[in-house]
A and B are shown apart, each in its own frame.
Chain A
């Protein structure tokens, strides 16, 4: 008998009496205005920075002031410029020297600052991890209160791969001291475009 059948037979023999599947949970979502504050606070706790802006120009000037844009910069946002043509990259290993990746987020979750990034928004799955710094632009109208709402809104199986990114790469494996920049981005900046 195959291992599969052996395992399934044992389960059939050993499993408890059938239980019913509970309904999905949903909670009051609070005020939209609070979501923005909540998102910023959560993002800071995760080790990231959230900046609320009114225009693309604001983002541009912030990026100029904070990053060396002469280094390899990939932008997947039509409104912001990079210097590396992502279409020219076929092998993700060639992203190794990327200094800054600028991405557009889909939905952001207020309770934990997680932003849903499906593969279509990444060009390469490796991009938001291999880059030294990560910038994500999110429209304020795409904020959701909590994870229950997020899974209601997003079909996470519609993309071959997708990830909730909530902050930069971090670790606390040495005596519980928080260190930002374990393997991936050393910083994550979220611009919330509040038009």
Chain B
């Protein structure tokens, strides 16, 4: 199976290790991964700020890079959602967030790694309520959680229950800057929930939320570690 890898702009620039983990993970499951070298960004930063029209060039570049593939995989629920809702249009390209690609398409059963730590899952909102990677707490129905299902296959991992299992971290793209005070407070509240539950490592399918939480925990010298789910599934350990 051939898949095009879409690496979100902030991962490309600041968290290459997340892109590498995603690539290696997909290769481990026998996927032929191609990374179109001319890719940039999905255009979400502009669009969510009210300037979808300024993201048109980014959308064009996205389609030039990915338009001919059957499958595109990205280690981000948020970017995947934006592409599906605002970039693809009539195109038949199938874009997947990494976790849902692993559970729904590759139907991964064995991950073959160990992670002997207390882990809290941060449910990033766009993956949760946009892509339905899990059942949100508001909805009534059968419970499911794709990222959690994958992590449950990791040996020695201790998944921790939170007081508020799917409250937003307050990142929200430019919201983090335009509503800085409340964004910071939301992030600190999320950190507290994880820390009160004894979490050693916070993980998520979205590095953008994690960048926000990491920025706060580092500034306040909290010991909690931050890792993208691809890194845990690929066998990395907290640094």
Determine whether A and B are in direct contact in the complex, meaning some CB atoms lie less than 8 angstroms apart: no
